[in-house]
Structure 1
Amino acid sequence: MSRIAHSCGVVPSHDALSLGLCGSFLPGRRQDAFHFPALTTSVAEARRRVLARLREWGMDEMACDDAQLVVSELVTNAVRHTDSDKVSCQLRLSGTGLRIEVVDQGHAPTEPRARCSGTDEESGRGLLLVGALSHAWGVRPDDDGRGRVVWADLPHGRLTP
């Protein structure tokens, strides 16, 4: 059974009300929102959920791969660097691209930022990858001011009919 849970209690973005039903997919609107426990095992669940949804929407494989990598990096950061119990994710596909938002509940001592890691370091390159794969990315406070939203805008590639 999947660890992904749906809930109307988690508001993943300023546009969450436009979803109509929190935590669900609305055919024709190409939006999805979900949340899961802030555990390292949830990173793989988020990747699977994103891949399934983007394939359902007809995105090409390169765009799916890029989106999975971005989600993986953003969710990993939320799990590792905040005191969250759960992490939320929202996908929104438009004519201009794919918006990915990952929301945490906790505060980290610093805001996420890309950094240069040494050649012998095993981590620290995630946001550099996010920056390389996206048109833009950024951070803002979440709607209740207790957590934050890290977002990335990616080109969506070819959509199949």
Structure 2
Amino acid sequence: MLPTTMHSAEGMVTARHIASWPRERNSLIPADCWRSAPCVVFRLPALKRAVPVCRNLVRAWLDGQGIHDDDTRYPALLVLSELFSNAIKYSAGRHVTCRIWKSASLLHIEVHDRGGTASVPLRRRPTQAQEHGRGLELVAESSSRWGRRIEADDSCTVWAAIPLTAGVPTSMAP
């Protein structure tokens, strides 16, 4: 099954949508909160203020999928925030694409950016004195596994798999 894509009239979430959030929420989130969409893809501008919008879109998808347990939701939103923030910081691209779907026992999150910098996403172990560098450490601690793919065009996808808790409705997706 092909992923369901969340689009605005322009083909993606735009800076205008981000600037007027949450007023734009109803035009971006379908009335059924993607209940019938086992996979959803968001393409947002590479702007810091897009991070909470992406979290809200994923929260609505989780609601539509019946994923209400905090043991799944909290790590999913944390992982998404860290990966999206890293993509904004380290990519030369103007957009970041997030894909989320569930399988029988896992919630899958992928964040894709255009790449374009010499920086490759690496897990570090920062000291207490360091202000930054904990993002991928948090991703690793919050997921059962994670990884990255650097494509021939230098684009980068960082992904994570988060265990679904017992009682969460499941379906198979791509």
Q: Give TM class, smaller chain.
A: 0.7 to 0.9
Matching of residue 67 in structure 1 with residue 67 in structure 2: no
Out of 125, 134, 151, the residue aligned to residue 125 of structure 1 is 134
What residue identity is the alignment partner of 1:136?
A: R
Report the alpha carbon displacement of residue 39 of structure 1 after superposing the two structures with TM: 0.6
| From 92, 100, 107, the counterpart of 2:109 | 100
Task: Tell me how far 1:31 sits from its aligned partner.
Answer: 0.8
Identify which range, 89-98 or 28-37, moves more after superposition: 28-37
- Asked if structure 2 preserves the Cα contact closer than 8 Å seen for 1:100 and 1:153, the reply is yes
Deviations 1:9-43 (A, max 9, x none): xxxxxxxx722x53368644511111110011111
Q: Which runs of 5+ in 2 are unaligned?
A: 8-32
Query: What is the 5 A alignment of 1:81-100?
Result: 81-100=90-109
Aligned-partner Cα distance in 2 for 1:160–1:18: 20
Deviation of 1:160 after TM superposition, in Å, equals: 5.4
The equivalent of 1:3 in structure 2 is none
How many residues are matched?
A: 143
SS in 2 for 1:149: strand
- The whole-number CA distance in structure 2 between the counterparts of 1:36 and 1:92 is 18
Give the TM-score normalised by the residue count of structure 1: 0.80
Q: Is the 1:36–1:87 Cα contact (8 Å) retained in structure 2?
A: yes
Say which of 38, 50, 72 aligns to 1:42: 50
Residue 82 of structure 1 aligns with an amino acid whose one-letter code is: S
Q: 1:33 aligns with which of 23, 30, 41?
A: 41
Partner of 1:18, secondary structure, is coil
Corresponding residue to 1:152 among 136, 157, 160? 160
Contact 1:32-1:90 within 8 A present in 2 as well = yes
Q: Does 1:18 align with 2:26?
A: no
Q: Deviations over 1:24-80 (max 9, x none)?
A: 686445111111100111111111111111122111122111100000000000000
Specify the alignment match of 2:86 in structure 1: 77
Q: Which residue of 1 aligns with 2:64?
A: 56
Residue identity over aligned pairs, in percent, reads: 31
Rg (Cα) greater in structure = 2
Say what the alpha-carbon RMSD is for the aligned residues. 2.1
* Unaligned runs of at least 5 residues, structure 1: 1-16
CA contact (8 A) 1:101 1:149 kept: yes
In the TM superposition, what is the alpha-carbon distance from 1:83 to its structure 2 partner? 0.8
Q: Is the 8 A contact 2:35 2:65 kept in 1?
A: no
Asked if the contact 1:55–1:64 (Cα under 8 Å) also holds between the matched residues in 2, the reply is no
Take 1:141 and 1:156, find their aligned partners in 2: how far apart are those partners? 27
> Conserved in 2, the CA contact under 8 Å of 1:37 and 1:85?
yes
SS at match of 2:115: coil
Look up the SS of the partner of 1:109 in the other structure: coil
